[in-house]
A = this chain, B = another copy of it.
Amino acid sequence: MTTDFATTRAMFHLPEGVIYLDGNSLGPMPRAAAARVARTIEAEWGEMLITGWNKAGWMDLPSRLGDRIARLIGAEPGHVVLGDTLSIKVYQAIASALEMNPSRRVILSDSGNFPSDLYMAEGLCRTLGAGYELRVVAPEAVESAIDDSIAVTMITEVDYRTGRRHDMARLTAKAHQMGALTVWDLAHSAGAVPVDLAGAGADFAVGCTYKYLNSGPGGPAFIYVAPRHAEIARPALSGWLGHDAPFAFEPSYRPARGIERMRVGTPPVLQLAALEAALDIWDMADMADVRARSLALSDQFIAGVEAACPDLALATPRDHAARGSQVSFRHAEGYAIMQALIARGVVGDFRAPDILRFGFTPLFIGADDVARAVAIIAEVMAGRLWDRPEYRLRARVT
């Protein structure tokens, strides 16, 4: 398959005058999304009522769409399921892994991980008691910190602030060598970089769909369990839709076969319908093409910004292998600078304390967008256009 980016771009709606470099935070709207969701509401919910669970296939959406995501992350078909939020899926994955490695008590993560992963692990350790511990090291110290005390590593492949990418195959191999299991968070990987879960031998993986995958605000998360663990892993959050016979209403839990056991409650059908519209676009994309274009766009961006803005310090690794699909720069006035950029139509985001973050999403961003964004950034920096009180007012940002 060769990806036709002009076609994919035309399938998204982008507001007039906006260069959207924040698809790594919330992807833009597929043009088909509203009609797809309206169909689910009116023709399915409205007309089929309760029978929609079978007739409209709502019940199977989490696995059916999971299979379409599996292709993008190198997962074996039948081993990815959607539901809940990323935080919940992180919890299920690490809890399952800990139970599978009962002689150890340590979850290893790094300080570049997204805080919610750390908070969920903290909560799990608190619930487990008995000496369970979350150990957080610097990202560059992860490899050496994987020793024979580690039960499970909980690592986000691409750092949400810097865009630094861990070497999944290498860290997974080290973990296995030391008798640890791995949980990979693909929040900034799925749809951003080619991922090869099966090839890397990953044990568990989780991710969200509202960033690069464009499912819309609050879209569901996904979870992957390696086929070799599929009948062993026990989901700590054992809900009825993860039961082997949910409609038998048995008094005790029996895990469903394989990945289905990672389902918990009733799936969010409207959010899944929006995701389906987005996956219709993703079905036309080859991750190798996406990656090649992402690197070209981000290289162009780095070169342009560095040439024009000496005050902005690159926070993202230059090495292609060591970065995801975003470029971050540091500046002490990063917050105000980002507000000035947003006011001029260049939408990235700010991450405390000093990170300006720009996402490159080839399905709808091209070289012309990057050139225009660079010109606006150069203008804002050269003229200190960010140095105005209203840009310093901190509203809550996402």
Seen from chain A, the residues whose Cβ lies within 8 Å of a Cβ on chain B are 13, 15, 18, 20, 22, 25-26, 28-29, 33-34, 37-38, 41-42, 44-47, 49-54, 58-59, 84-88, 91, 95, 111, 114-116, 118-120, 122-124, 126-130, 136, 208, 210, 216-221, 234-243, 247-253, 264-272, 274, 342, 347, 349, 351-352, 395-398
Residues of B within 8 A of A236 (CB): 123-124, 126-127
On whether the beta carbons of A85 and B41 are closer than 8 Å, the reply is no
* Count of identical protomers in the assembly: 2
Residues of chain B with a CB closer than 8 A to A120's CB: 237-239
Shortest Cβ distance from A33 into chain B, in angstroms? 5
Report the Cα distance A241→B396, complex, angstroms: 13
With A115-B243, A218-B272, A268-B218 known as contacts, the answer to whether A41 contacts B33 (CB < 8 A) is: yes
CB neighbours of A208 from chain B (8 A) = 266
Distance from A352 Cβ to chain B, minimum over Cβ atoms (Å):
6
Per the bound structure, the CA–CA distance linking A45 and B37 in Å amounts to 13
5 closest residue pairs by CB, A with B? A85-B265, A116-B240, A123-B238, A87-B239, A217-B269
Q: How far is the CB of A25 from chain B (nearest CB, A)?
A: 5
Q: With both chains docked as a complex, state the minimum distance between the C-beta of A114 and any C-beta of chain B, in angstroms.
A: 8
Known A26-B50, A41-B216, A119-B240: A398·B59 in contact at CB below 8 Å: yes
Task: Assess the A251–B115 pair: CB atoms within 8 A.
Answer: yes
Would you give the shortest CB distance from A257 to chain B, in whole angstroms? 15
Q: Determine if B119 and A253 form an interchain contact, defined as CB atoms under 8 angstroms apart.
A: yes
Give the distance in Å from the alpha carbon of A252 to the alpha carbon of B117 in the complex: 10
Q: Which of A29, A129, A136, A249 has the most CB of B within 10 A?
A: A249
> Is there contact, CB below 8 Å, between A216 and B271?
no
Inter-chain contact B29/A252, CB cutoff 8 Å? no
- Evaluate contact between A123 and B41: CB separation under 8 angstroms: no
Would you call B127 and A266 a contact (CB within 8 A)?
no
Q: A119 touching B243 by the CB < 8 A rule?
A: yes
Question: Quick check: B217 and A58 within 8 Å, CB to CB?
Answer: yes
What CA separation (Å) do A88 and B88 show in the bound complex?
Answer: 9
Contact between chains at A29 and B41 (CB < 8 Å)? yes
Instruction: Assess whether B29 is in contact with A34, with CB atoms less than 8 Å apart.
Output: no
- Quote the shortest CB–CB distance from A204 to chain B (angstroms): 16
- Nearest-Cβ distance from residue A40 to partner chain B, whole angstroms: 8
Q: What are 5 A-B contacts defined by CB distance under 8 Å? A: A28-B49, A37-B38, A58-B218, A122-B238, A247-B396
Asked if B218 and A269 make an inter-chain contact with CB atoms under 8 angstroms apart, the answer reads yes
Residues on B with C-beta less than 8 A from A396 are 53-54, 59, 247
Q: Given the complex, which residues of B lie within 8 Å of A58, measured CB to CB?
A: 217-218
- When distances are taken between beta carbons in the complex, the residues of chain B under 8 Å from A114 are 240
Chain B, residue nearest A242 (CB): B119
Is the pair A251, B118 in contact by a Cβ cutoff of 8 Å? yes
Complex formed: what's the CA distance from A54 to B38 in Å? 24
CA distance A69 to B352 in the complex (A): 35
Tell me the nearest residue of chain B to A394, going by C-beta.
B247
Distance A297 CA – B239 CA, assembled complex (angstroms): 34
Give the residue name and chain of the B residue nearest to A31 (CB).
B46
